[in-house]
């Protein structure tokens, strides 16, 4: 989570600052396009061609190919835009949480319930 350059670090928490925004622009711009169904379909039809159209860096392309959320964040992805890609991939926010924390989805969901008890 070092796409950021802000002096203050909050453990486990990306801060989407100017450095991250510059680094992630192509990836986030592609994800913004997924507000349109035609673009989501085009990505699903030919992922390589779609990513190339937006000029993803090799780091961003690999993170997307690997479906690796932490790597996407590291490559400057912003979670609000990445959420639209996650929708195409059929991942909900518990799936994303489980992947990023290295937990099973069931264990992640249980973790969410605990503080309410």
Partner 1 sequence: MARIVGGIGVSHVPAIGGAIARGLQQEPYWKPFFDGFEAAHRWLAKVKPDVVVAIYNDHGLNFFLDKLPTFAVGAAAEYFNADEGWGLPVQKPYTGDPALSWHLIESLVADEFDVTMCQEMVVDHGFVNPMQLLWPGKERPVRVVPVTINTVQHPLPSPARCFKLGQAIGRAIESYEEDINVLILGTGGLSHQLDGTRAGFINKAFDLMSLDKLGGDPKVLTAYSSLDLIEQAGAQGVELLNWIAMRGALGDQVTEVHRSYHIPISNTAAGLLVLEPVPAALRANAA
| Binding interface with partner 1 (CB under 8 A) | 1, 6, 8, 10-18, 21, 25, 28-29, 31-32, 34-37, 40, 69-70, 73, 78-84, 86-88, 92-94, 96-97, 100-101, 108, 111-113, 115-116
**Smallest distance, Å, CB 19 to partner 1?**
10
Residue among 58 and 90 whose Cβ is closer to partner 1: 90
Contact 27, 56 (CB under 8 A): yes
**Smallest distance, Å, CB 66 to partner 1?**
17
**Smallest distance, Å, CB 46 to partner 1?**
18
**Smallest distance, Å, CB 79 to partner 1?**
4
10-11-14-18 Cα dihedral, nearest 10 degrees: 40
Residue among 42 and 111 whose Cβ is closer to partner 1: 111
Residue among 47 and 97 whose Cβ is closer to partner 1: 97
């Amino acid at each position: 989570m070092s796409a950021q350059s802000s002096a203050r670090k909050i453990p486990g928490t990306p801060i989407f600052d100017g450095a991250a925004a510059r680094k992630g622009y192509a990836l986030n711009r592609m994800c913004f396009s997924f507000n349109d169904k035609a673009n989501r379909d085009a990505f699903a039809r030919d992922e390589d061609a779609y990513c190339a159209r937006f000029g993803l860096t090799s780091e961003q392309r690999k993170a997307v190919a690997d479906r690796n959320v932490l790597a996407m964040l590291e490559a400057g992805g912003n979670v609000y835009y990445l959420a639209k890609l996650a929708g195409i991939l059929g991942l909900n926010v518990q799936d994303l949480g489980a992947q990023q924390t290295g937990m099973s989805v069931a264990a992640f969901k249980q973790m969410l319930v605990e503080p309410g008890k």
